[in-house]
Structure 1
Amino acid sequence: MIIVTGGAGFIGSAVVWKLAQEGIEDILVVDNLGEAGPQGKWKNLVNLRYADYIHKAEFLRRLETNNDAFAATAVIHMGACSSTTETNAEYLMNNNFKYTKAVAQYCLKNDIRLINASSAATYGDGAMGFDDDPDALDQLRPLNMYGYSKQLFDLWAQRSGVLGRLASLKFFNVFGPNEYHKGDMKSVVCKAYHQIKETGALRLFKSYREDYSDGGQMRDFVYVKDCVDVMWKLMEHPDINGIFNVGSGRASTWNELAAAVFSAMDLDPHIVYIEMPESLQASYQYYTKANMERLASALGKYTPTPLHEAVADYVQMYLNSGDPYLG
């Protein structure tokens, strides 16, 4: 059995989809489905094949009270609060750091493969670069509590001497199917599609730095299908462990991303540049780019889907679809 925590969420449900593609259906989904509205996470599960579901609180209780509660071969731990704007620090500490530590301790004690979701938010403003060298971990300064909660687990794993027994993945700007429940945390691709459909135009923030034009701010955008391909390879190679970036290895501008969305929708670009809220200006990231050398060295050649192809697949196969979920 393979356990996928956060299995009804964005990346987690894509993992369940990938496992089923590989012929694995003995999957335990762990999550908190919340509300059953039309944009609820439950819709991510409808097209998927899995064996059982358990609430995240019951899962944790059983982990902590029964040493052999789950006869699992692997845990893919995607469950966490993924909101970069969450202000309840105690909630993030408990839900992201302490919960993940409990999952890791259980896996280590029972010799279960663990793949964990860290985040590129641990890099903060990027002043220290985006190199996933574990020796530089304690030099990173996340800008928000979400990033700090992810950083804490990576530091715990390193200081406990167990980083060589698990894989912790720093995801960059992930986009793709099954993110529809995420509200403000949806990718710009998803937001742009609906904004363009409604208004015919896309709004992007102006730049407040002379070295970047409006819409010239850069991000490493990575397709969720590429992310789950990486996790599958790590499942196949349980001897490969440590911290790894998961991005495209390319920095693309918001203008390039916008052009890809308009092209996928068969429309001419129409971009309106708007003022950035003052609360964001001081901490806004103008550049992110994953260094993918360590992952490529560990797993072999890494060839992510080019941005325009990934956006086209997402828009034309999912966002345009009446049933826009993986399955």
Structure 2
Amino acid sequence: MIIVTGGAGFIGSAMVWKLNTMGFDNILIVDNLGHEEKWKNLTGLRYSDYLHRDQLMVALDQSEKNPFEGLQAIVHMGACSSTTETDAEFLMSNNYRFSQLLAKFSLQNGVRFINASSGATYGDGSQGFNDDIQTMRVLKPLNMYGYSKQLFDLWAYRQGILQALVSLKFFNVYGPNEYHKGDMMSVVCKAHKQITDTGTLKLFRSYRDDYGNGEQKRDFIYVKDIVDVMAWFLENPHANGVFNVGTGKARTWNDLANAVFAAMGREPKIEYIDMPDHLREKYQYFTQAPVDKLRSAGYKAEFTPLEQGVRDYVVNYLNKDDPYMDTYGD
């Protein structure tokens, strides 16, 4: 058995899809479906059972022994991923404490633990983007979400268990099954709708002289690459620690916009708009994930180029009436 927390969410459901393509369906999905439509992410996937997050926390907190027979791994994608969430207590409980509980349980029971950290831990990037201990200890995230992820990595380091688990710093992820995320959907997904509805894509203008409008850069990574990396860590239990997961190559918002227009067969039409005041001081103008550490650990697969990933996403998912990942037909 493999537990996937956040298994109905964006990356979590993509990971279930990946496990299904590998022939694995003894999967316990843990989530909080609430009133969102992320349940639709599950309709094309194979899994053995579903459990509410709170029920899992009670089961692990009260059981003297492992209540899950045959459990091999916990892939922990279950967290609030909103960079604009302001309820700090909620983030401390949902992102930090829950992760601690799962990590402790996993290590006590010999269960592989793979955790979702975030590139948001790097803050404004002034300390660099290296996934080493020295950098990790001095980072100052720009939002509470990034701080909640940073706290877990630091806790694991102080506990001396960081080399017994995997914590992955995801950069800008895009791809199918993100449709329930509202404002937190990738710009690829938002762009497809904007272009379909209006023929135009709106991007934030730059407020720095060293970056032109739309020339702010991000390390965009396709969700199918993300789950390939996690599957590799499941199959390589010797590899542990904190790792960046990005392509290692920053691209501009204009590059991304042009890729979406091209995938939709349209000429680019971009409008640059004012950034909301509350975002201006917290906006990252550049992110790029050094992946040397991941490569040194043994991961050799190439990452999907931006144009290729966007095309696959647009043509095989966003352009279709049913855009969800599906393994029942495989």
Q: Deviation of residue 103 (structure 1)?
A: 0.4
- Please name the residue that 2:145 is paired with: 146
Structure 2: runs of 5 or more not aligned: none
Q: Deviation of residue 134 (structure 1)?
A: 2.1
Post-superposition Cα deviations, 1:88-142, rounded to whole Å, max 9, x if no partner, equal 0000000000000000000010010000000001000000011101232111000
Partners of 2:309 and 2:25 lie apart in 1 by 26
AA in 1 matched with 2:251 = S
Residue range with higher mean Cα deviation, 131-140 or 257-266: 131-140
- Please name the residue that 2:221 is paired with: 222
- Please name the residue that 1:27 is paired with: 27
Task: Give the TM-score of the pair, scaled to structure 1.
Answer: 0.98
Q: Report 1:253-292 matches (<5 A).
A: 253-292=252-291
Q: Deviation of residue 70 (structure 1)?
A: 1.5
- Partners of 1:233 and 1:299 within 8 A in 2: no
Post-superposition Cα deviations, 1:5-29, rounded to whole Å, max 9, x if no partner, equal 0000000000000001001100000
Task: Give the TM-score of the pair, scaled to structure 2.
Answer: 0.97
- Partners of 1:170 and 1:246 within 8 A in 2: yes
- Partners of 2:117 and 2:167 within 8 A in 1: yes
- Partners of 2:128 and 2:135 within 8 A in 1: no
Q: Secondary structure at the match of 1:98?
A: helix
Q: 1:70 aligns with which of 46, 68, 71?
A: 68
Post-superposition Cα deviations, 1:227-263, rounded to whole Å, max 9, x if no partner, equal 0000000000011000000111110000000000000
Matched, 1:119 2:102: no
- Please name the residue that 1:41 is paired with: 38
Matched, 1:167 2:166: yes
Misfit runs of 4+, over 6 Å: none
Q: 2:47 aligns with which of 45, 50, 57?
A: 50
The two structures, once aligned, show a CA RMSD in angstroms of 0.8
Q: Deviation of residue 300 (structure 1)?
A: 3.4
Residue range with higher mean Cα deviation, 306-315 or 62-71: 62-71
AA in 1 matched with 2:74 = V
Post-superposition Cα deviations, 1:147-173, rounded to whole Å, max 9, x if no partner, equal 000000000000000001100000000
- Please name the residue that 1:236 is paired with: 235
Q: Deviation of residue 281 (structure 1)?
A: 1.6
Q: Secondary structure at the match of 1:267?
A: coil
- Please name the residue that 1:11 is paired with: 11
Q: Secondary structure at the match of 1:243?
A: strand
Partners of 1:179 and 1:173 lie apart in 2 by 13
Q: Percent identity?
A: 60
Partners of 1:297 and 1:47 lie apart in 2 by 35
Q: Deviation of residue 205 (structure 1)?
A: 0.8
Partners of 2:24 and 2:12 lie apart in 1 by 15
Q: Deviation of residue 268 (structure 1)?
A: 0.2
Partners of 1:32 and 1:119 lie apart in 2 by 21
Q: Secondary structure at the match of 1:276?
A: coil
Q: Deviation of residue 299 (structure 1)?
A: 2.1
Q: Deviation of residue 283 (structure 1)?
A: 2.0
How many positions carry a matched residue from both structures?
324
AA in 2 matched with 1:21 = T
